[in-house]
Amino acid sequence: MLPPHVIHLLIAALGGAAIGVERQWSGHADGPQAHFGGIRTFTMLGLIAGLSGWLWTLGATWLAALLLAGAVGLVVAGYVRASVADVDGTTEVAALVVITAGVLSGFGQVRVASAIVAIASLLLVEKTRLHGWVRRIADMDLQAAARFAVMALVVLPLLPAGPYGPVGGIRPRELWALVLFFSGLSFLGHVLRKAVGPGQGYLLSGIAGGLLSSTNVTWTFARLSRVDPSLGRPLAVGAIAANAVLYPRVLAATAVLNAPLAPVLARELAAPAAVAWLAVAVGGWLARRDDPSVRAQPDDNPLQLASAMQMAVLFQGVLMLVYLARETGGAVGVYTSAAVLGLTDVDALTLSMARDVANAISLETAATAIAIGVLANTLLKAGIALAFGAPSFRLYVGGLLIALAAATGAALAWP
């Protein structure tokens, strides 16, 4: 067995060699415009850095500092020379990363050093893909990401926690966190729609749309199937996918808002979720050949900030109504309000039950209320599919939603 410090030095040298191989392979170490170095230079650089870290642990700090200063000075000199013809400093920055990882390895932090080298190597190897991804970012997407960062990192910490006022009170920071939650969902849906593309089929489009509103997807696809009955089955598959997304979306929101409630709710939603995703698998297999392209729809507002703020205001109103229902009618009042709210918005239902009822009454009452709201929402969408869809759309989507409602009802009735 080799001594530990020898292993640390070998890992430091191998980390440099890994980066050096990529630099040599990519052509940056050869030719008239060659940069800092290739596999040999980087291997020795990693070894020097590892020696510096090891010497530091032995107390020879002056020698370790001298070696590090020489290595860094060599890298800087290489960049100054290469920048005369090319200002690209990727190779020199990679050399500094090798030095850092090598020193950490010399200290004995071999896992951290290995992780740094692995990430750096991946960034270097995936240059073409990363540059292509950046070129595909639209101005609108970049602006939306910057706005979301400001909303999350600047505005949220400045808001007071509360509560302020009667009937449960208003919590500004919590409401703004909900705005971020819904805006983040909108942005995620926007990114997924762009990743899916307009030609990848109604199945994936329905999944992306289901992240925002399965009711809207069901309504939109039902009307499209009436306009063009030949699209009935592909549109039905997309609507089924959107409705299947509802269950993991509700569970994910519940886990974020009230983690102990999630497993309790999962017992209520497991059966309909299993039926829905089985239908997605079967429907996707049946419609994979005749699924036409999805018509591209412009999206000029990835964050949907106005809608998110409206949702937060709606949630605050719902929270106050649920508070009154809980105070006056107990669990029965909560269940009644959940059924009514499920007809309009499952997200507001989930948020209010997870934040208020679960803590004020019990986890079981909150889970049952959410399941009742999901049942009411499922019946509403079944009515939409049956009333506005083409015959094939009514058969697939309407039949499935009725089956999902039956599965949810059975789960609620099961002791």
pLDDT digits 0-9 by tens, 32-88: 555 567 788 889 988 999 999 899 988 888 888 998 898 888 888 887 877 766 667
**For residue 29, what pLDDT is reported?**
57
**Got the DSSP string for 192-206?**
HHHHH-TTS-HHHHH
**For residue 87, what pLDDT is reported?**
66
pLDDT bracket for residue 328 (50, 70, 90): low
pLDDT bracket for residue 1 (50, 70, 90): low
**For residue 207, what pLDDT is reported?**
77
Does the pLDDT value for residue 400 go beyond 50? yes
Question: CA distances (Å), 16 to each of 111, 134, 170, in order?
Answer: 15, 28, 56
Q: Which residue has the higher pLDDT, 33 or 231?
A: 231
CB 355 within 8 Å of CB 257 = yes
pLDDT bracket for residue 182 (50, 70, 90): low
pLDDT bracket for residue 199 (50, 70, 90): very low
Q: What percent of the chain has pLDDT over 90?
A: 3
Q: Which residue has the higher pLDDT, 179 or 160?
A: 160
How far is 364 from 173, CA to CA, in rounded Å? 27
Mean pLDDT of the region 315-326: 62
pLDDT bracket for residue 251 (50, 70, 90): confident
Where on the phi/psi map is residue 73: left (φ > 0), alpha (ψ -120 to 50), or beta?
A: alpha
Does the pLDDT value for residue 19 go beyond 50? yes
Cis peptide before 166 (omega within 30 of 0): no
* 8-state DSSP, 394: I
Mean pLDDT of the region 101-113: 90
Tokens of 156: 């949220």
Does the pLDDT value for residue 201 go beyond 60? no
Instruction: For residue 383, count other CB atoms closer than 10 A to its CB.
Output: 14
Helix/strand number for the chain, H first, E second: 19, 0
Does the pLDDT value for residue 329 go beyond 60? no
Q: Which range, 119-128, 284-293, 394-403, is most confident? A: 394-403
Which parts of 202-346 are beta strand (E)? none
What are the backbone angles phi and psi of residue 163, rounded to the nearest 5°?
A: -85, 160
Mean pLDDT of the region 203-217: 74
Tokens of 54: 């090891």
Mean pLDDT of the region 98-115: 90
**For residue 301, what pLDDT is reported?**
60
**Got the DSSP string for 232-259?**
HHHHHHHHHHHHHHHHHHHHHHHHHH-T
- Which letter, b or e, does each residue of 320-359 get, where b requires 16 or more Cβ atoms within 10 Å of its Cβ? bbbbebbeeeebebbbebbbbbbeebbbbbbbbbbbbbbe
Tokens of 212: 């925002």
Instruction: For residue 135, count other CB atoms closer than 10 A to its CB.
Output: 7
Does the pLDDT value for residue 296 go beyond 50? no
* 8-state DSSP, 89: -
Does the pLDDT value for residue 358 go beyond 70? no
How far is 214 from 207, CA to CA, in rounded Å? 9
Identify the CA nearest to 180 among candidates 163, 160, 155: 155
Q: Which long-range contacts (CB under 8 A, 24 or more apart) does 377-384 make?
A: 377/215, 377/246, 377/342, 377/343, 377/346, 378/243, 378/272, 378/404, 378/405, 378/408, 379/405, 380/215, 380/342, 380/343, 381/214, 381/215, 381/218, 381/243, 384/215, 384/218, 384/219, 384/222
Q: Which residue has the tokens 């949907």?
A: 304
Does the pLDDT value for residue 306 go beyond 80? no
Question: CA distances (Å), 43 to each of 4, 88, 89, 184, 293, in order?
Answer: 19, 21, 19, 44, 51
Q: Which range, 143-157, 239-253, 319-333, is most confident? A: 239-253
pLDDT bracket for residue 291 (50, 70, 90): very low
Does the pLDDT value for residue 152 go beyond 60? yes
**For residue 298, what pLDDT is reported?**
46
* CB neighbour list of residue 37: distance below 8 Å, 6 or more residues apart: 20, 23, 29, 45, 78, 91, 95
Mean pLDDT of the region 147-154: 78
Radius of gyration of the chain (CA): 29
Identify the CA nearest to 43 among candidates 83, 95, 105: 95
**For residue 263, what pLDDT is reported?**
87
Question: CA distances (Å), 92 to each of 36, 80, 105, 122, in order?
Answer: 6, 10, 20, 16
* CB neighbour list of residue 56: distance below 8 Å, 6 or more residues apart: 64, 103, 106, 107
Identify the CA nearest to 205 among candidates 143, 296, 91, 307: 296
State pTM to two decimals.
0.51
Q: What percent of the chain has pLDDT over 70?
A: 71
Q: Which residue has the higher pLDDT, 37 or 25?
A: 25
Q: Which residue has the higher pLDDT, 147 or 325?
A: 147
Mean pLDDT estimate for the chain: 77
Tokens of 57: 């642990």
> Which of 138-152, 225-239, 397-411 has the lowest average pLDDT?
138-152
Does the pLDDT value for residue 353 go beyond 80? no
Does the pLDDT value for residue 392 go beyond 60? yes
